[in-house]
Amino acid sequence: MIPSRAPSPVDKLALAVVHQPDRAIPAPAGAREESLRGLLQTAADSRVTQVATRPDGDGERWLGQAWPFPSPFQVSVRTVSVSDGVDRVEARARRSLERLGLPRGDLLLISSAGDLAGAEGRALWDRLLALKDRGLYRRIGFCAAVEDGPALLARRFQPDVVQLPCNLLDQRAQHGGVLGELAALDVAVHASSVFADGLLFVGSESLPPEMHRHAPTLSRIRRRLAEARVDPMQATLAYAMGLPEVSAVVASIASAAELRAVVAAAHAPTPALDWAALQLEPAAIAAADSDAQGRGRVSSAA
């Protein structure tokens, strides 16, 4: 009998590979593929088993060409918008598996809670249920923001998974009771935007416009972490991974070097911090989200 492996901090870690030029280093096709293979092999060697994908550009196809063999990964897929109809959503979810080179996926997520709340919400959900029943996806769920009322949607549709932003600066999902409500419904929670768009990793001069007025508060939080001798990456990961209701922490990674840094931070001892004292005020977070949407800035899924 093979003994079971002891739990590891990376068991909760989900890898979202970033292909955008502003994060990933531009490279010729061959070098890019080699870099992606190295990233995925580093993930496999680090025992990271979850990979989150998006139906954007060629990212799925690049991943499909770079999996280590045999692949140790459980892969989540996100849908395209329902604005083009539920037939298009289903066809693209099937196409995602083809592009990824997979016979089936672990998780299919509706990309926006607004698609479920709209007129075609029930028809859309029924299509996902059918894909699950056919064995193409093991679990189904949706992505939501705190403002979307994810617990109400979960009561209505009974998903396996809800993915929502949850990070050190934005603790509304925890303190507003959303995580507890989802846990009571036996819904797994995947935390996204865990690095809070990198707000703790840049100076005040590099903040996006909608966050400039929060520069003093962010400086105070960074100072508290420095006084406690805790790296911001270690703190952000420790907060999200320490939430008992969260079963996966989705971290965006652009290189093997970034992944090694994240894995090292995940393995660091959990710091003794007053987490609630390190968040932005809920009203500030809500206002920043509203300003970002008005300016067309897309928040990172991880």
As a whole number, mean pLDDT of residues 35-43 equals 94
Q: How far apart are CA 180 and CA 178, in angstroms?
A: 5
CA dihedral 120, 179, 170, 281 (to 10 degrees): 110
pLDDT-above-90 percentage for the chain: 73
Does 87 score more than 60 pLDDT?
Answer: yes
- pLDDT at res. 56: 86
Q: Flag whether 4 is in a domain.
A: no
Of 137, 51, 138, 151, which Cα lies nearest the Cα of 89?
137
As a whole number, mean pLDDT of residues 45-57 equals 94
Q: What is the pLDDT of residues 244-302, one digit of tens each?
A: 999 999 999 999 999 999 999 999 999 999 999 999 876 556 555 555 444 443 333 34
- pLDDT at res. 98: 97
CATH number, domain of 247, equals 3.20.20.100
Q: How far apart are CA 184 and CA 40, in angstroms?
A: 35
DSSP string, 18-80: ---TTTSPP--HHHHHHHHHHHHHHHHHTT--EEE--SSTTHHHHHHTT--SS---EEEEEPP
- Confidence band, pLDDT 50/70/90 cuts, at residue 21: low
Q: Measured between alpha carbons, how far apart are the two ends of the chain, in Å? A: 38
Q: Flag whether 265 is in a domain.
A: yes
Across 126-135, 193-202, 293-302, the highest mean pLDDT is recorded for 126-135
- pLDDT at res. 296: 41
Q: What is the pLDDT of residues 204-257, one digit of tens each?
A: 888 888 888 889 999 999 999 999 999 999 999 999 999 999 999 999 999 999
The residues facing 141 across adjacent strands are 109, 161
- pLDDT at res. 184: 97
Q: Flag whether 302 is in a domain.
A: no
Q: Flag whether 2 is in a domain.
A: no
- pLDDT at res. 300: 37
Q: Flag whether 117 is in a domain.
A: yes
> Hey, which bits of 125-245 come out as E strands?
137-143, 161-165, 188-192
Q: Flag whether 129 is in a domain.
A: yes
Q: How far apart are CA 183 and CA 203, in angstroms?
A: 36
As a whole number, mean pLDDT of residues 93-104 equals 96
Number of domains making up the chain: 1
Q: Flag whether 301 is in a domain.
A: no
Name the average pLDDT for the chain.
88
Does 1 score more than 50 pLDDT?
Answer: no
- pLDDT at res. 205: 82
Does 187 score more than 90 pLDDT?
Answer: yes
- pLDDT at res. 33: 84
Does 181 score more than 90 pLDDT?
Answer: yes
- pLDDT at res. 32: 77
- pLDDT at res. 65: 93
Q: Flag whether 300 is in a domain.
A: no
Q: Which helix H or strand E contains 67, and what residues bound it?
A: none
pLDDT-above-70 percentage for the chain: 87
Q: Which domain holds residue 185?
A: 9-295
- pLDDT at res. 69: 84
Q: How far apart are CA 19 and CA 26, in angstroms?
A: 9
- pLDDT at res. 4: 55
